[in-house]
Chains A and B, each alone.
Chain A
Amino acid sequence: MSTNRTQVDVESLVDVKNGIQAKRIFWDQQIYDLEIEQIFGKCWQFLTHDSLIPNPGDFTTGYMAEDEVIVTRQDDGSVKAFLNVCTHRGARLVAAEAGNARAFSCTYHGWSFGMDGALKVVPMEEELYRGSLDKSKFGLREIRVESYRGLYYGNFDAQAPSLNDYLGDVKFYLDIWMDINGGIELVGPPSRSLLNCNWKTPAENFVGDAYHVGWTHLASLMALGGELAAIGGNEAPPNEGLGMQVTSRFGHGFGVLWDAAPAVHAINSKAGTLYREWFASRKPKMVEKLGAKVGRIYGSHLNGTVFPNNSYLLGTNTFKLWVPRGPHQIEVFTWAIVEKEMPAELKNAVVSGMNSTFGSAGMLEADDSDNMETMTQNNRGRMTREGKLNSQLGLGFDKLDPDFPGVIGQSAIGETSYRGFYRAYKEIMGADNWKAILKLDPDAWKHELIGQ
């Protein structure tokens, strides 16, 4: 399986104890090739959501890293995923991005596959193959699929832990937004854009960078007002250090900005007004149900990443997939994420607001793009590429908390979740297989991060 593990010294890429990464991880082709094998070959990758394929025969197409995939709703309501590749001569099977089909027919010779992936029809089969073709052996390559709260993820590795176990500690928090409050749905179709950056750049930014918010987005925050305008210019954090950070065993993590869920929806806009009313009416119930400490997560702003490349902003209604296209480029997929129980008027308003801020024409999205690109492209320089990256913010102050699962950083402005992301990155990059990872002490990662 492993083609180049011997060529990459994984140990040299990440120093967990000191919060250091090698800049080469954003540039080297060999490292990228190993990531495709080890990270994208082993980890769960986002595919679609129930709301986008509601009926039998509905499908969407997309990517798992550089592999093209089809995701379809079966007659029995279950969901299957396949490589979007004809098993005859390898042409792409489905060119549409979404639809409803009864079969997928290859454009090259007309081989036709059922929604369950089975090869059904081969044109002139009797005349040409004379009974020699065993159609049962040429079904589409199926991908393991599991769902969490209606979100479907695919995994190429049969040994991988279940999606639930993989999400682990962060599920506790995601549930507050995605289950306890009545659930979520994605609004499609996604917008798509191209950035000339490494896939880890936005993944690490979303997993834990609140430090850039007040600086990178200063002009946008000044123009929009709202709860985050207070940190514009990074002159001083507001009370309580803003929030917290959480990281987990397999690298998923997020930052919390307390009570800032509607922050980027301008105060005097329709979205802003309706959204603030929504939280005012819903949050007390969540606090009653979960207690003040945990319940505060709902109505706070969460920026997070499900390792490796699926990011979200809960509060800003943004759901992203960073699809790698080589070491220096990604395709960005952006869906709006809304609470199922929101009235249609609010849903529409926050979807527009999301697009205006973090969609492909988004004001804050545009703020980020230069940083994302230069963080990758500067590594073209040999001397630059030999350098190190620093994620030491808050190092030494991470802790465990009896009320909050995972390893906790005590301010939203910290790099706890960066460190957790790259700890997992190193572990998965260097592991023989999932069996080797899973046999380790399940708490060892915490000690590694906290430094005990």
Chain B
Amino acid sequence: MNELIPVRGSESEEVVSTLYREARLLDHEEYREWMKMVHPDIQYQAYFQQLRYRKDKRYKLPDKVYTIDERHDFLDARIRQFETGMQWSVDPPERFRRSLSNIEVFKASSTGNYQVFLNVFVVRNRRVHDETTYSYGREEEWVRGEAGLQLLKRVVSLDERFLLGKNVNFFL
């Protein structure tokens, strides 16, 4: 059985500081440094959930739309897109501030991997007028590699039913 054991003290601090470091690298567009924190077997997902009635059990189709369901190769392609120097949509550059909160760290008894739950609030500024905010939850798994902790799985729950910020062309 895969029991989730709460993690405290310095072990928890290591996970939390890893999350902060990741957010800082992304805010500063240090994508290649960030990729070193991403496990080769990464599963990176984000979903919206369709509005359904609580009592409705008869409609069997999936209620989630995975607006992102990507692996290492596509995350790498997203970075290459920025690296071309031809990505005019981020030129002039966008500015991001990621705030992380409600961080809970657990360890899975079966794998020893860290299971993390947290909330994220992002403010994105682009062009003259566009300030858009994104608030979402993340459930993720971090695994210890040779160079520190690596992100193995991230599932982002985008709570809004429709995206006000016109796109999600950034890492969540």
- Using a CB–CB cutoff of 8 Å, the interface residues on chain A facing chain B are 52, 54-55, 57-58, 95-101, 188-196, 218-220, 222-224, 266, 268-270, 331, 351-352, 355-356, 359-363, 365-367, 369-370, 373
Contacts and interface: CB of A to CB of B under 8 A. Distances in A.
A219 B162 CA distance: 27
Which secondary structure dominates chain B's binding surface? loop
Interface in B20-62: 46, 48, 50-53, 56, 58-59, 61-62
Q: How large is the interface on B (under 10, 10 to 19, 20 to 34, 35 or more residues)?
A: 35 or more
Contacts of A373: 166
Given A100-B59, A219-B87, A191 B65 contact: yes
A269 B78 contact: no
B67 A96 contact: no
B68 to A, nearest CB: 5
Interface of B: 46, 48, 50-53, 56, 58-59, 61-71, 73-74, 77-78, 80-82, 84-89, 127, 161-164, 166-169
Contacts, number: 136
B70 A98 contact: no
A218 B46 CA distance: 25
Contact of B50 (A97, A195, A359): A97
B65 A222 contact: no
A101 B61 CA distance: 14
Contacts of A362: 167
B132 to A, nearest CB: 10
A246 B53 CA distance: 43
Given A52-B61, A188-B65, A192-B48, A363 B81 contact: yes
Contact of B77 (A55, A101, A223): A223
B74 A356 contact: yes
A355 B66 contact: yes
A194 to B, nearest CB: 5
Contacts of B169: 361, 363, 366
Scoring B62, B84, B166 by chain A CB atoms within 10 A of each residue's CB, the highest score goes to B166
A190 B51 CA distance: 11
8 contacts: A189-B64, A192-B162, A222-B84, A355-B66, A360-B167, A363-B78, A366-B166, A370-B127
Contacts of B48: 189, 191-192, 360
Nearest to A220: B81
Contacts of A352: 66, 69-70
Contact of B58 (A100, A219, A331): A100
A261 to B, nearest CB: 19
9 shortest interchain CB distances as A-B pairs? A192-B162, A366-B169, A361-B168, A189-B50, A100-B58, A219-B87, A223-B81, A366-B167, A223-B80
B61 A266 contact: no
